[in-house]
Amino acid sequence: MTRRQLLGGLGGVFLAGLLTNKAEACQDCFNKSELYQTINRAVEHHCQFLEKKELASRIGLNLDEWRAVTHAIIRHESSYRPDAVNEIPEKNIKSIGLMQINIRFWGRQKLLEGIPEEKLLTPYWNVRTGLMIFTYELLRSKSVGSALYRYVGGHDSEYVVNVLETAFLMKGDL
């Protein structure tokens, strides 16, 4: 029996379309799962780095909290699109990747020295770099809310509230 016979004529064409979409959706889920694993691996490596540098106790976030904050930032910054680029030439702003790293601003702060732009478009290195920037701000400001405010350039307090709410809601899911 052919697939067409099994699915039954014209109605089967519709059903076949649904099955194709379902297969695409499954592939999308697989890709997201792979992306989530990459993000979580970057978070784990960042936490290990903080432990080695004896910064983890100064910051006070555990692995689950780092994951929740990281995923919340990514959800709000790029909607999990690794290739996201936001460029505003008249303001000399260019933010790239999952964590929307503002390469011109952070480049001037010397936090991106030796990191080529292409590397920042890879999920792992974008997250690691974004977490280094966030840690830098967290150590300077001493609170997650203040660090988020500075991470986004100090111009959007609603962003901070939204990210913190998302992190709180996501913490149990990660």
Confidence (pLDDT) at 42: 98
The per-residue pLDDT for range 61-77, each reduced to its tens digit, is 999 999 999 999 999 99
pLDDT tens by residue, 118-159: 899 999 999 999 999 999 999 999 899 999 999 988 777 899
pLDDT in tens, 39-60: 999 999 999 999 999 999 999 9
Q: What is the CATH number of the domain that holds 97?
A: 1.10.530.10
**Res 28 pLDDT > 60:** no
pLDDT in the model for residue 3: 34
Range of the structural domain that residue 63 is part of: 36-170
- pTM to 2 decimal places: 0.79
Number of domains in the chain: 1
Asked whether residue 26 is assigned to any structural domain, the reply reads no
Q: Is 17 contained in some domain?
A: no
User: DSSP string covering the chain, please?
Assistant: --HHHHHTHHHHHHHHHHHHHHHHHHHHHHHHHHHHHHHHHHHHHHHHHHHHTT-HHHH---HHHHHHHHHHHHHHHHTT-TT-EEEEGGGTEEEETTTTEEHHHHHHTTSSTT--HHHHTSHHHHHHHHHHHHHHHHHHHSSHHHHHHHHTTS--HHHHHHHHHHHHHHTTT-
Inside any domain, residue 10: no
pLDDT score for 134: 96
Task: Decide if pLDDT at 7 tops 80.
Answer: no
Please report whether residue 135 resides in a domain: yes
